[in-house]
Amino acid sequence: MAGLRRAVDDAGDPTLCAAVRTCTKASGTLTELLKRAIHEPVILTCLMNHVMWDQWVRTGGVLVDGHAGEAAVALSTVQFLIVPGWAEDLECYLAFMETLLLVPRTDAAFTGQ
């Protein structure tokens, strides 16, 4: 716990706020895409083909209501701050997810064809 506390303390307010904002936005974007995937399974396939599916989504990236959702964002924020390369990977995944939100449902690029 001491290392965790040190990482958060050393981050400073702007860095910590940016980490929380990015993790929260990524979780919200993921939640929206998972809702769409019910009717468009190709979305799930696209999400699962990214390295962050295993590194983030499967380990707590899905935002849920209540304390569990807060804990997920807290865990993601810690990873964002202390795991080398993780912040960049999440930002890349967020950009990818935002692209999926913008692609028309009938677009061939969406299906990867």
pLDDT tens for each residue of 36-57: 999 899 999 999 999 999 989 9
pTM for this prediction = 0.80
For residue 48, being part of any structural domain is answered with yes
Mean pLDDT rounded to a whole number for the chain:
83
Domain that holds residue 18: 2-102
What pLDDT score does 23 carry? 92
For residue 109, being part of any structural domain is answered with no
For residue 111, being part of any structural domain is answered with no
For residue 24, being part of any structural domain is answered with yes
For residue 89, being part of any structural domain is answered with yes
63 has a pLDDT exceeding 80: no
Number of domains in the chain: 1
Asked if 80 and 90 touch (Cβ cutoff 8 Å), the reply is yes
What pLDDT score does 6 carry? 63
For residue 35, being part of any structural domain is answered with yes
